[in-house]
Amino acid sequence: MGTTSKLAKLYLALVFIILYAPIFYLIFYSFNSAGNMSNFEGFTWEHYAAVFEDTRLLSIVVNTIIVALLSALISTAIGVLGAVGIVYITNKRLRQSLLSLNNVLIVSPDVIIGASFLILFTMIGVKLGFASVLISHIAFSVPIVVIMVLPKLQEMSSTLVDAARDLGASRRDVFTRVIVPYIRPGIFAGFFLALTYSLDDFAVTFFVTGNGFATLSVEIYSMARAGITLTINALSGLLFIVTLILVLGYYFVANRAKTPFQAGVPK
């Protein structure tokens, strides 16, 4: 047993190192005064300064955050309403097919989503830019919110709603004061995931973004195609910290509330 666990530890450490090496490699060279990713000459903050001086890049960062927050908020609202609706559908067939349709966008490759949305927007005349990107992000985030909220709704005892109704609560009160508080962890989890989906998306945005508007991923792509710029490295250093905060925040919420990711929790 001793040898197996030693081998196991070595293997895990190796996978761990390989997974993190490129990220730390990027961050390491973000401090390189030589301006390339091969010879570390000396320490400098200049690339970080360059990020904060680049007004175009900063406005792209702001755009990205606005799109992420708005799309997460709106998709959470649509998704929660949808999930509540699905749970109360008594026809099993209908519910099952709704759930299958719900999952289409989760399993579809990004290229398909991007290309088909591009056709859709061109046909109904949505101008490519902020609006098309925001709508796409809402569209691909809705199903993940539904998936995160649904288990919470399903484990909620229907007697809670009945009790509230018997005690004279209006339908609106039942929704805002019984159902929503109960499924809040699922709502938070869905919101967080929608946020990260939006922040991370490249392919769909790339298709529907047009010329005037860019999110960070699209901008990094065009910068990377042009070659190595240590501004990207500095940016990745900053994003790494933001991501860590987001992940830790998510896990804090998830652990406190035992959301679906904590699948092993015995009931």
225 binds other proteins (CB under 8 A): yes
Selected binder of other proteins within 155, 163, 177, 249 (CB under 8 A): 155
Q: How many residues bind other proteins (CB under 8 A)?
A: 86
Residues 202/218, Cβ–Cβ less than 8 Å: yes
Stretch that binds other proteins, among 7-15, 44-52, 65-73, 183-191 (CB under 8 A): 7-15
Question: Between 46 and 74, whose beta carbon lies closer to other proteins?
Answer: 74
Rg (CA), the chain: 23
3-state secondary structure at position 129: coil
Q: Does 104 bind other proteins (CB under 8 A)?
A: yes
Give the list of residues 6+ apart from residue 32 with CB closer than 8 angstroms, or none. Answer: 39, 40, 41, 42, 44, 47, 230, 233
Q: 157's torsion region: left (phi>0), alpha (psi -120 to 50) or beta?
A: beta
Which of 102, 132, 231, 259 touches other proteins by CB under 8 A? 102
Please tell me whether residue 198 binds other proteins under the rule CB under 8 A: no
Phi, psi of 32 (to 5 degrees): -85, 120
Among 6, 16, 33, 94, binds other proteins (CB under 8 A): 16
DSSP letter at 43 equals B
Q: Which of 6, 127, 171, 177 binds other proteins (CB under 8 A)?
A: 171
79 contributes a contact to other proteins by CB under 8 A = yes
Which of 5, 55, 159, 211 binds other proteins (CB under 8 A)? It is 5
Q: Which of 65, 70, 73, 77 is the binder for other proteins (CB under 8 A)?
A: 77
**Residue 209, helix vs strand vs coil:** coil
Least Å distance, CB 160 to other proteins, is 14
Q: Does 226 engage in binding with other proteins (CB under 8 A)?
A: no
Find out whether 13 and 217 touch, Cβ atoms under 8 Å.
no
Widest CA span in the chain: 74
Q: Does residue 252 touch other proteins according to CB under 8 A? A: no
Report the nearest approach of other proteins to the CB of residue 266 (Å).
Answer: 12
* Binding residues among 113-152 for other proteins as defined by CB under 8 A: 113, 115-120, 123, 138-140, 142, 146, 150-151
Report if residue 192 touches other proteins, rule: CB under 8 A: no
Cβ–Cβ < 8 Å for 76, 145: yes
Site for other proteins in 22-51 (CB under 8 A): 22-23, 25-26, 29, 36-39
- What type of residue is 93? R
Polymer length of the chain: 267
Torsion sign (Cα): 214, 220, 226, 229: positive
Closer residue to other proteins (CB): 76 or 130? 76
Contact between residue 103 and residue 88 where contact means Cβ atoms under 8 Å apart: no
